[in-house]
Amino acid sequence: MLSKTIEKALNSQIRIEAESSQIYLAMACWAEVKGLEGVAGFMYDQSDEERDHMLKLVKFINERGGHAHISELKAPNVTFQSFKEMFEMLFKHEVFVSESINELVHISLQEKDYATHNFLQWYVSEQIEEEAMARTILDKINLIGDDKGGLYLFDRDIQQLTVNS
Ligand code: OFO
C-alpha cells in the first residue's frame, strides 16, 4: 500500500513523464518540418518511450492501492533556433528528470517504502542511459558545427542511437 506522500510524489512524476513525451513530440514535429526525417523519427521514438515511462508509473500506482492521476500538461516549446539548441534542451530536460527521479528515490527511503524504492531503480538506470545518449548526440553535433554534409550524415545515422528500453 502506498503512503499518501509516495502516491503524490509518484503522481507528479507521471506528469513529468507525460510532459517529456509532449516535449519530444514537439521536437519530432519541428525536425520533420525542417526535412530531417532521421532526427524526426528518433524524436518520435523518444516521445513513445516517455509515454511508456509514464504508463509504468500509472500501473504501479494503481496496483499498489493508489490512484494514478492524469493531469493537464504544460504546452512545450515548439520551435528552436537550431538542432544544437534542440538537443541542448533535450539534454537539460533529461538532467532535470534525473534530479526528479533522485528526489523520488530519496522520498521512498524516508518513507521506508522499499517496494517503491525497488521499482524506481529501473528509472535510475534508464536516466543514466538517456543522459549518456543525449551527451553523445551533443558531442556529435559539436563536431559537425555548421557543416551541411555532416548534418545530412547525422540525420541518416541518428536512428541507430536509439536506446531500446
Ligand atoms: Fe527520458 O525520462 Fe523518462 O524517465
CA of 127 to the centre of ligand 1 (A): 6
CA atoms of 5 and 9, how far apart (whole Å) = 6
Is the pLDDT score of 38 beyond 60? yes
**Considering the entire predicted model, what is its pTM?**
0.94
127 labeled binding residue: yes
| CB of 50 shorter than 6 A to ligand 1 | yes
Q: Quick one: average pLDDT of 34-41?
A: 96
Substitution candidate for ligand 1 out of 17, 121, 133 with most atoms within 8 A of CB: 17
CA of residue 51 to ligand 1 center, whole Å:
9
Higher per-residue confidence, 162 vs 52: 52
Please write down the HEC assignment for all residues of the chain: CCCHHHHHHHHHHHHHHHHHHHHHHHHHHHHHHCCCHHHHHHHHHHHHHHHHHHHHHHHHHHHCCCCCCCCCCCCCCCCCCCHHHHHHHHHHHHHHHHHHHHHHHHHHHHCCCHHHHHHHHHHHHHHHHHHHHHHHHHHHHHHHCCCHHHHHHHHHHHHHHCCCC
Centroid of ligand 1 to alpha carbon of 18 (angstroms) = 9
pLDDT at 92 over 60: yes
Nearest-atom number in ligand 1 for the CA of 126 is 4
Check whether 94 is labelled as a binding-site residue.
yes
ipTM of this model? Answer: 0.93
pLDDT digits (tens, 9 = 90+) for 104-133: 999 999 999 999 999 999 999 999 999 999
- Domains, the chain: 4-160 (1.20.1260.10)
